[in-house]
Amino acid sequence: MLSIRTLLIVLLISYSSFSFSAIRTGRDTLAYSDTTKIDSSKMRDMGDVLRAIFNKKKNAGHVSTSKKLNISIVPTVGYTYSTGFTAGASSVTTFYTQKDHDKNVSVVNLQAFYDSHEQKTFMTQSNIWAWDDQFKFVTDLRLTKYPDVTYGLGSASKMSNADDLDYDYLRFYQTILKKVTTNFYAGLGYSLDYHSSITETSTPGNTISAFKRYGESPSSRSSGFTMDMLYDSRTNPVNALGGTYANVVFRQNLKSLGSDSKWSSVQIDIRKYFKLSKYSNNVLAFWSYTWLTLNGKPPYLDLPSVGNDTYNNTGRGYAIDRFRGRNMLYLESEYRFGVTRNGLIGGVVFANVQSYPHSVTTTNINNFNPAAGAGIRIKINKHSNTNLGIDYGIGTDHSHGLFVNLGEVF
């Protein structure tokens, strides 16, 4: 998710769909369910628009089919107050690892950005299914040089508490999941978060920043093992038309694995999708994201915060890291609907609420930060049902902005 405070220009939308197989998958995006076989030639995406502009016609009698490999790329430029001018690209690649395409689809997300404040970001997340969907390999790799702004701890922090930090960041998460029963998987993994060259470049007025009060450090390392449980009945993780996703990740950081301190956490990610009519692909979606510190003291930059979920998508309406705390409670709902009959243009309305209590009890959960907004969807790849999302969200304390995502937010 890229938060743009003043201006975002989508410089170019380039569409690529590489076909290594002419086999129909049965998951074309006009389907009344995710598995109904419908001819995707009735759909339109930006590839069709560009072909029409440049008068590139398909061969007569050509019928569009889903491909084994589909790549969607969106180069962008933009401007934010905190980063200056930004240029980069995002891509979503979907493919099947099985010869017959009635199994789960694998997804690779890739993002790379550079800005005039020398902020460099490279990240890739992959979910690869293998051996007849008996195993799932999940990888999250990030390399960033990241001038950042934090605002203190808890749900009551103010924009006036802005504190500028600069650091280098390496993340490496690797998980291997084994199928237990239908749609249910369990596995183990390793997680590393390493922040180095941490520098506080400015503080709010003459006050002592939350970063210093928490325990200022020039570097931090969190290294530990994870235990994962996953239930996933979606047939298309890029743009689900139904099903349920539930992922529970327990993380134990240990000094014996190189962690600066011993601490543990749990993340509970639950998503539910309701297709409202068999005559359309309108969907009502719900997302619950709970991130709890169970014991120990995580490094300041490893605490739960806005936009630091796996795909940096929590908290539309707020800047990344706008809120931070020992625990995070988050709820979001979204209604997705079509605007054009050919699927090229769609829209969403959404609302979310979040809280960062020091401890999770009914007496301590008393500050909530809501946000809401709306956006448009532009079909980039009709075979993988990948949309470009451009949303405008409004939060509390004068927070607002544009949020751009390749693929659905959740």
375 in any annotated domain: yes
pLDDT at 276 over 80: yes
The confidence score (pLDDT) of residue 219 equals: 97
- C-alpha to C-alpha distance for 395 and 389, rounded to whole angstroms: 19
Label residue 2 by pLDDT band (50, 70, 90). Answer: very low
127 in any annotated domain: yes
387 in any annotated domain: yes
132 in any annotated domain: yes
Comparing 60-69, 127-136, 360-369, the range with the smallest average pLDDT is 60-69
State both tokens at 174: 């690797």
CATH number for the domain harbouring residue 247: 2.40.160.50
Identify whether the C-beta of residue 113 lies closer than 8 Å to the C-beta of residue 79: no
Helix (H, G, I), strand (E, B) or coil at 180: strand
Q: Name residue, tokens 């790329």.
A: 73
| Percent of the residues in the chain that have a pLDDT greater than 90, as a whole number | 56
**Of residues 11 and 92, which shows the higher confidence score?**
92
The confidence score (pLDDT) of residue 231 equals: 97
47 in any annotated domain: no
Q: Which residues pair with 371 in a beta bridge?
A: 352
Label residue 36 by pLDDT band (50, 70, 90). Answer: very low
pLDDT digits (tens, 9 = 90+) for 88-105: 888 989 888 877 667 788
The confidence score (pLDDT) of residue 364 equals: 66
The confidence score (pLDDT) of residue 188 equals: 98
Label residue 235 by pLDDT band (50, 70, 90). Answer: confident
Our count of domains for the chain comes to 1
- Helical H segments across 145-259, by residue range: 210-215
Enumerate residues 6+ apart whose C-beta is below 8 A from 45: 15, 343, 344, 379, 380, 381, 382
pLDDT digits (tens, 9 = 90+) for 182-203: 999 999 999 999 999 999 988 7
60 in any annotated domain: no
- Helical H segments across 239-298, by residue range: none
14 in any annotated domain: no
Residue 265 domain boundaries: 116-406
- C-alpha to C-alpha distance for 29 and 336, rounded to whole angstroms: 14
Identify whether the C-beta of residue 338 lies closer than 8 Å to the C-beta of residue 346: yes
10 in any annotated domain: no
